[in-house]
Amino acid sequence: MIEVSNEYRRLLDGACDLHVHCAPDVTRRSVTEIELAKMGKAVGYKAIISKSNYTPTYNRVYHVKSIVPEINFFGGVALNYFVGGLNPYAVKVAIGFDAKQVWMPTFHSENHLKKAGQIKYDPKIFLKPIDFTIKEGLKIVDDEGKLKNEVYEILDLVSENNMILGTGHLTKEEIFKLVKEARGRGIKKIIVTHVDYSVTRFSQEEQLKLAEMGAYLEHSAFSCIDSSERLNPKLVADSIKKVGADKCIITSDLGQINNPDPITGLIEYIRMLKNAGIEDSMIEKMLKDNPSKLLEI
């Protein structure tokens, strides 16, 4: 088990991490969902949402809860080609399993393909040598820049079932249109997915505008910890101060085989933010209060 000092144990008591990656998955992960649930229980976690860019996670929740009932463990679905892309039927099944979050396309968004490229097989990361190459990325807008009909249907399903909407790896322009329409259709729980990640990075002014539109901004440990990112945590802290902790959440977005496990990495991320001037009360707002409100727990 993880050794946690009293200072950080207090900050983690009641924590909700709404973005972790666990096994089972197509890629190797540092922990399984059951292992992470047990680790979270040991340090006082209140809730976890497991995410995969390849497969739904909501159908595994039953087994995790049967073994670690003390943790509020949830799943969701990312609308990549693996589930049919912008597929309302994939959302309907997720609703049947009581999924908590629906993410717009991530790895299969046109924006991700342009900025990060195609998914490529690496034996150190992937379990089997499968070709994941796709011909074109997904967009939520048509050639005229209007939201596609299936997006409207998905938004209505999310609204009617009080789910969390995650913006995924879309372009800034798509995300602004999505947030505006989602709010107009009664969606109260919108998370702008990892606003510091190089593929989806927003300026402070853009973050402030999105918050004013009613969205929560997700700041993830991955952006400061992963070797491909290494973002200066001071930039994150400055954005949080500008927008205000009331409209931000912090997550780990960890579980990659080459990174610390989600809890160890989150502790390191909190240390970075504290050193950059983020007060404990703000940490607790973003790690406990706001996520609890989104989960309604």
Q: Is residue 52 a part of any domain in this protein?
A: no
List the domain range (segments joined by +) for residue 180: 77-295
3-class state of residue 277 by DSSP:
coil
Residue 1 scores a pLDDT above 80: no
- 89 Cβ contact partners less than 8 Å away, ≥ 6 residues apart: none
- 186 Cβ contact partners less than 8 Å away, ≥ 6 residues apart: 159
Q: Is residue 3 a part of any domain in this protein?
A: no
Q: Is residue 8 a part of any domain in this protein?
A: no
Q: What is the pLDDT of residue 2?
A: 81
Number of domains in the chain: 1
Q: Is residue 134 a part of any domain in this protein?
A: yes
Pick from 190, 210, 215: which is nearest to 102 by CA?
Answer: 190
Q: CA-CA distance, 12 to 266, in Å (whole number)?
A: 9
Quote the mean pLDDT of the chain.
97
Q: What is the pLDDT of residue 3?
A: 81
Q: Is residue 169 a part of any domain in this protein?
A: yes
Q: CA-CA distance, 240 to 246, in Å (whole number)?
A: 9
Q: What is the pLDDT of residue 4?
A: 86
Q: Is residue 14 a part of any domain in this protein?
A: no
82: left (phi over 0), alpha (psi -120 to 50) or beta: alpha
Residue 187 scores a pLDDT above 90: yes
Q: CA-CA distance, 196 to 230, in Å (whole number)?
A: 10
Q: Is residue 68 a part of any domain in this protein?
A: no
Q: What is the DSSP letter of 287?
A: I
Q: What is the CATH number of the domain that holds 171?
A: 3.20.20.140
- Complete DSSP assignment for 61-127: HHHHHHH-TTSEEE-EEE-SGGGTSS-HHHHHHHHHTT--EEEPPSTTBHHHHHHH------TTTBS
pLDDT in tens, 100-152: 999 999 999 999 999 999 999 999 999 999 999 999 999 999 999 999 999 99
Biggest alpha carbon–alpha carbon distance for the chain: 55
pLDDT in tens, 236-273: 999 999 999 999 999 999 999 999 999 999 999 999 99
What type of residue is 175?
I
Q: Is residue 238 a part of any domain in this protein?
A: yes
What's the mean pLDDT in 57-86?
98
Structure-block tokens of residue 263: 């809890």
Distance set, CA 283 to CA 14, 28, 136, 194, 253 (Å)? 12, 30, 39, 16, 16
